[in-house]
Amino acid sequence: MKTKKIDNLKEFSGTVLIPVFETTAKNLIPIKYDDLAVSAKVFYGKKDTHYLVEKNDNTFIFIGLGKSIDYKSLKTIFRRIASKEKETFAKSVALSLPSEFSSEEVEAAISGLLLGTYSLGHFKKEEDHPFLDPDFELDILSDKDHTDSINKAIKIARAQLETLKLVDLPPNKVTPKYLATWALDKGEKYGFDVEVLGLEASKIEGLGAFLAVGKGSENEPQFVIIKYSPKEETEALKHVGLVGKGITFDTGGLNIKTAGMVHMKCDMAGGGAVFGAMQLIADLQLPIKVTAIVPCAENSVDSKSFLPSDVIHSYSGNSIEIIDTDAEGRLVLADGLSYLIKNYKPEYIVDIATLTGSSVGTLGYEAGALFTNNEAISKKLQEVGDSIGERLWQLPLWDVYKQDIESDIADVKNYSGKPVAGAISAAKFLEYFTQEHPAWAHLDIAGVAFGDDEFAKSKHATAYGVHLLTKFIENL
């Protein structure tokens, strides 16, 4: 999407989008725009409403924002308009930005419009959204220069669109190799380095926990390492490490899932969020060094699959008793965290994963679960999440939960076997492999990465985490 600032509609012909803050249904003064007047009896700016008027070959879409608006709601409103009203868009579209819009509100509106181009019909014969035409240009009507906010919004949306596609595409398309190739291609395009450890290289490195998960699949696991550095490096440059769960499909392994398996293509949504964030970080040229690891594997059922009661050896050198093969995400994350800490030594670490149904049972579909012993990181992540509508809520990491991962035969076990505190015991398991890193946070996003909304009939990706991780890093 290209944009161009215009001063008025004198030479314009097409569709005009006009955001309107709520007045009152009883207001005697109509909403006026240009030479149009809309009676409050038919439209007064109520949130989630819109009203179409045609005049002089132009289509005017008045968009209700309510009395006040938050970032996520504003983004959703504009995504809805772009998605549901695309048939009314002419070749030319203009957006009239209210003078009271902040830079963040401009960002939300523009990125929402671009997200509205997304369709789940990846294998259908469909016409592309008009916004996706290479020659399309969105005209911006504003008394201020919002160029920086608009450019940033487009970059945010593009990264989120990439993650939506990665998570929504089927597992016979998005294999570990597909994700590795995606990272290599985007590295060339956006300017970050990518190293991929395949099966043999992972064996040489001793990534035993990671390799155990992928043993039952014909699709070779890929341990993806991404390194981004700004063009100007200094000694004071902060270094952040990211780890994302990249399980391209999760059958549960030999502890096979008995419900909901059809949605398990989403089990790489944490890895997808890291991929999208790395694209965005490089696109924005953030002045921070970032190293990301996404262990990509498929947890399948086969004669070669790892077994419940196996004892495997992780990259850290610690042994792990396998209680449940469906607790596989924490295994690949354990090796990812250990590898990151030993070889790259970042100051801050955030891992992100669709890890447990327990987090969904606790927080539903409104927030991800946050685990950390660093209060400054906890506060920063929650503040950032609240500001963009990707909310987090902190759960405890008390040492009393250590007993849930204690094993008689190995250093640690991968599952407590208890029907309670599953998200916490999983977090304690990951903490075991952080070597008491002072600035580590774990995000369990099982309830917010994939779900239902107005934009499709079936469950689908949300791209949760792309903007959250980027904005957290941007504000360190």
pLDDT digits (tens, 9 = 90+) for 365-376: 999 999 999 999
Same-domain status, 98 and 61: yes
Tokens read off for 266: 């989403």
Give the DSSP letter of residue 287. S
Is the residue at 54 inside a domain?
yes
Count of the separate structural domains present in the chain: 2
What burial letters (b/e) apply to 81-93, b meaning 16+ CB within 10 Å?
A: bbbebbeebeebb
The reply to whether 158 belongs to the active site is no
Q: Are residues 319 and 442 in the same domain?
A: yes
| Residue of 86, 177, 227, 257 marked active site | 257
The answer, yes or no, to whether residue 126 has pLDDT greater than 90, is no
The domain that contains 456 carries what CATH number?
A: 3.40.630.10
Residue 25 above 90 pLDDT?
no
CATH number at residue 37: 3.40.220.10
Residue 316 and residue 452 in one domain:
yes
20 found inside a domain: yes
Identify whether residues 105 and 207 lie together within a single domain: no
Which residues on neighbouring strands pair with residue 424, listed in sequence order? none
Are residue 285 and residue 193 in the same domain, yes or no? yes
- Pick the catalytic residue from 155, 165, 265, 330: 330
pLDDT tens sequence across 251-270: 999 999 999 999 999 999 99
Is residue 119 located within the same domain as residue 183?
no
In this structure, the answer to whether residues 326 and 180 fall within a common structural domain is yes
217 and 122 in a common domain: no
Active site residue 91: no
- Residue 30: DSSP 8-state: P
Note whether residue 442 is domain-resident: yes
Same-domain pairing of 120 and 194: no
pTM, 2 dp: 0.97
* Cβ-contact 31, 62 below 8 angstroms: yes
Burial (CB < 10 A; 0-12, 13-18, 19+), residue 269, is: buried
Contact by Cβ (8 Å): 436, 430 = no
Indicate if 266 and 400 belong to the same structural domain: yes
**The last residue of a domain, from among 86, 110, 145:** 145
Cβ–Cβ < 8 Å for 325, 252: yes
> Mind listing the pLDDT tens digit for each residue in 450-462?
999 999 999 999 9
Q: Within this chain, do residues 184 and 253 fall inside the same structural domain, yes or no?
A: yes
Domain end marker among 115, 145, 175: 145
Distance in angstroms between the alpha carbons of the first and the last residue of the chain: 30
Whether 274 shows a pLDDT value over 90: the answer reads yes
CA 347 to chain centre: 22
Please check whether residue 153 lies inside any domain of the structure: no
Name the residue range of residue 70's domain.
2-145
Whether the pLDDT of residue 57 is over 90: the answer is: no
Angle of helix 466-474 relative to helix 269-284, nearest 10 degrees, comes to 40
| Residue 236: pLDDT over 90 | no
Contact 210, 329 (CB under 8 A): no
Quick one: 460 and 337 in the same domain? yes
